[in-house]
Chains A and B, each alone.
Chain A
Amino acid sequence: MSNEPEYDEITDTYTTGHEWDGVKELDTPMPRWWLWTLYATIIWAVGYWIAMPAWPLVSDYTKGVLGYSQRDVVAAQLNEAKEARKIYAERLLSADLETIENNQDLLEFSMASGKAVFGDNCAGCHGSGASGAKGYPNLNDDDWLWGGSLDEIHETITVGIRGVHEDTRLSDMPAFLTDEFLDEGQIKDVAAYVTALSDKSVTAPAGSLEIYQENCAACHGEDATGNKEFGAPNLADSIWLFGDDQQSLISTISYSRKGVMPSWAGRLDPATIKALAVYIHTLGGGE
């Protein structure tokens, strides 16, 4: 309801004449500073529409006279970051891997950047702590299929395993059952034989030594310690990439295993691969 404005003595102000359930509204003006702030924001908004990208159009948007774009800003920042890293990238490229690991500065840079690169590219298979999983090697331990020296790690990352690189690492274990080299009984025996090499609670069945020597020793060696030239794993240690139970071993021998890792050359730049190799080498298992 609207009535005549009344004068309120306490506040020295008139009311608006509005009244709700006996509650009257004082006609207090907006604080001046508040109004000026409002006007200032309106002026600012108009200026903003002109200067900056603002209004959506049907298939485009108003670009603004300043031509600002967040994409450009990000691109510029990425370039800046690249430039900032350039000094290190150049130093990494010119130094050999041993030198990098023995230089406090380069080592710290490699360990920090290698960790980030590992997280982005490698952790998907090898795990964020590089401890691997069934079929994906643990990079912390000292068991290496293709060698754990700085140069060997660097080479493996560069060419990959069964990757697209022309020098890619490639191992080719026959599928002994499918290819009909061995029958199921023989496979069971030889599986027990290799288990017995590291697990003293298992005894090798009679005749299994002969099966091993005829079929496996050429690549895995007489003493079963493997051969890094062919990527043949050490069978005498207690680390099993595809599981240490009999069933897993029988499956490996019967159907073979074909692990895959991409060739990182071309995906990562050479300096980054070097930093990554040093990082993996410092995980503790490096030779």
Chain B
Amino acid sequence: MAKKPQDSEPPQQAAPPIVPHADVERAAVDAVNKSEYRSLYAAQKKIHPKRAKGTFRTIKWWVMIVTLGIYYLSPWIRWDRGPEIPDQAILVDIANSRFYFFFIEIWPQEVYYITGLLILAAIMLFLVTSTAGRIWCGYTCPQTVWVDLFLVVERFVEGERNARIKLDKAPLSWSKFAKRAIKHIIWLVISVLTGGAWVFYMNDAPTLMAELIAFDAPLTTYFWIALLTFTTYILGGFAREQVCTYMCPWPRIQGVMMDNDTLAVMYKEDRGEPRAPHKKGDSWEGRGDCVQCRQCVVVCPMGIDIRDGLQLECIQCSLCIDACDEVMEKIGRPKGLIAYDSLANFERRANNEPEKIQIIRPRTLFYTLLIIIVGGGIFYGLMNRADLDVNILRDRNPLFVQLSSGDIRNGYTIKILNKSHDIRKFSLSVSGLKHYKMNVVGIQEKTPEGLPVIEVGRDRLRSVKVYLTVPKEDLTNDSISVTITAKDLDSDSMSENITSFKGPKK
């Protein structure tokens, strides 16, 4: 058998011999995900990020509170729409095929508004990405937020980074088992709550809550809760950074939105290099500002070294900025060795030009213009959304009926969609025929002019069967264009619809 060479473990670098700044914590580790050591044939190594402190961590806490708050609380917001109509502000009412979003209400055939909304969201994401990189990934993506939340639990139960690494290596004991059990139970509770909040978007929240507590909710509800519990637990507890690196398509797409002026979390190597440990009191002449403390590495939830340059694993969560700034402050160097910076600024510094943040560029202007156009289109559409829609289906079987007198009768199914929240009455009238008799099945009410009156409930569709009979002498053609008009009796709202009246071949 051929001899197997030594394992290609990442070299554990020995701690530097000199005693540097005593107040700067140092780590003698390399990034877990460093590209040189990464193998697709090896199991993923667990990342134990240390908690960072600073501006960006604070921003991320607030983003977490706001996004989780929106997710958990928004189904409970009420919005009065009048009697018989759900009063939940955000509701995907699958049973009645309606989508409610505050003042917006969408019927299934208006699904293009949702398409428009998604397009708008995508372009906004493009704009943000071309301006400041992976803001979405680093701060607001549910994967990032939930992993952050799971890490809070992990740190609370098992302690900070070093304690967690030690616990991982320790043999199984009662205390290790207890810690693990508590951690997983809390994770599962969070996961159940995550799945539990999701179903409230599809149902009236207070009603469903009562049903869930009484174990009386529909089976599908439990299925969805179970499914989302499972995915939250797996993606937040175990898959973590692998979701961003291997599963998510967005990181690969967003490369095309970035250019030299796009802001990104970057290590300013022109300032940091050559890196070396630094002893308090020593001169900073002839060396870079990076003191090799590797705090940027230990706080990284993706397990990379930001000093290796832009990498696809980096979700640009900015935690390394916080870690580095803290160190820079302690050693008395200016902050921002790792900062939001652009490739263009690297060039400018190399050419001794002043740094510049160029947000207004053709690319960002173009995205902004697209947002205005798409957003304006959706807004215009919603503001001018008709609250009356009429669909006419001509009978095809039979195409027409010859009566005993020789007159010809056509049948139509007329669907009146009352999208307003009031009960409305519509009159039906016909134009395009000289003489005709109109009969609406089951309708007795008539206007003073003798037109049939059809009452349609709030936010409802009513389908009626209408028969038109035309004397045979009037049939000049085997198909006559006919306009059927539905008009609201109390307002000017009306809908004209062109259909045809068919007879025997002439």
Contact = CB atoms under 8 A, between A and B. Distances in A.
A237 B3 contact: no
Contacts of B406: 238
Interface stretch (B108-116, B144-152, B317-325, B396-404): B396-404
A104 interface: yes
A284 B467 contact: yes
Given A12-B41, A13-B41, A4 B404 contact: no
Contacts of A131: 397-398, 401
A234 B395 CA distance: 27
Interface string B35-48: 00001011000000
Given A7-B2, A282-B441, A284-B439, A238 B402 contact: yes
A140 B398 contact: yes
Interface residues of A, number: 34
Contact of B404 (A102, A130, A141): A141
Contacts of A128: 397
Contacts of B256: none
Interface residues of B, number: 28
A251 B15 CA distance: 115
Contacts of B395: 129
A4 B1 contact: yes
A161 interface: no
Interface in A3-57: 4-7, 9, 11-14, 28
Nearest to A10: B41
A101 B403 contact: no
A219 interface: no
A276 to B, nearest CB: 15
Nearest to A236: B404
Contact of B442 (A11, A12, A101, A142): A101
Contacts, number: 77
Interface string A89-116: 0000000000001101001100100000
B8 to A, nearest CB: 7
Interface string B330-366: 0000000000000000000000000000000000000
Nearest to A198: B406
B184 interface: no
Nearest to A32: B43
A130 B442 CA distance: 20
Interface centre among A4, A5, A283 (most CB of B within 10 A): A283
A189 interface: no
A283 B401 CA distance: 10
A236 to B, nearest CB: 9
B404 A143 contact: yes
B465 interface: yes
B41 A11 contact: yes
A163 interface: no
A20 to B, nearest CB: 20
Given A5-B1, A102-B444, A238-B406, A141 B41 contact: no
A11 to B, nearest CB: 5
Given A104-B442, A107-B442, A284-B411, A12 B402 contact: no
Contacts of A282: 441-442, 465
B96 interface: no
A199 to B, nearest CB: 11
Interface string B154-168: 000000000000000
B45 to A, nearest CB: 15
A238 B404 contact: yes
A106 to B, nearest CB: 9
A12 B397 contact: no
The prevalent SS among residues of A at the interface is loop
Nearest to B442: A107
Nearest to B8: A12
Contacts of B397: 127-129, 131
B5 interface: yes
A248 to B, nearest CB: 17
B442 A138 contact: no
B502 interface: no
Contact of B3 (A7, A129, A285): A7
A239 interface: yes
A128 B397 CA distance: 8
A112 to B, nearest CB: 10
Interface string B378-422: 000000000000000001111001111110010100000000000
Among B2, B3, B4, residue most surrounded by chain A Cβ atoms (within 10 Å)? B2
Interface string A246-266: 000000000000000000000
Contact of A111 (B4, B401, B465): B465
A274 to B, nearest CB: 15
Interface in B1-53: 1-5, 8, 39, 41-42
B401 A285 contact: yes
A275 B160 CA distance: 74
Interface string B442-481: 1010000000000000000001010100000000000000
A140 B401 contact: yes
* Interface-central residue, A5, A14, A140, by most chain B CB under 10 Å: A140
A192 to B, nearest CB: 20
Which 4 pairs of residues, A with B, have the shortest CB-CB distance? Answer: A129-B397, A237-B404, A131-B398, A7-B2
Given A14-B2, A129-B395, A131-B397, 17 more contacts: A4-B1, A12-B41, A101-B441, A107-B441, A127-B397, A129-B396, A131-B401, A140-B409, A141-B402, A141-B404, A142-B403, A237-B404, A238-B402, A238-B406, A284-B401, A284-B439, A285-B403
8 contacts: A7-B3, A7-B4, A9-B5, A14-B2, A101-B442, A237-B405, A238-B405, A282-B465
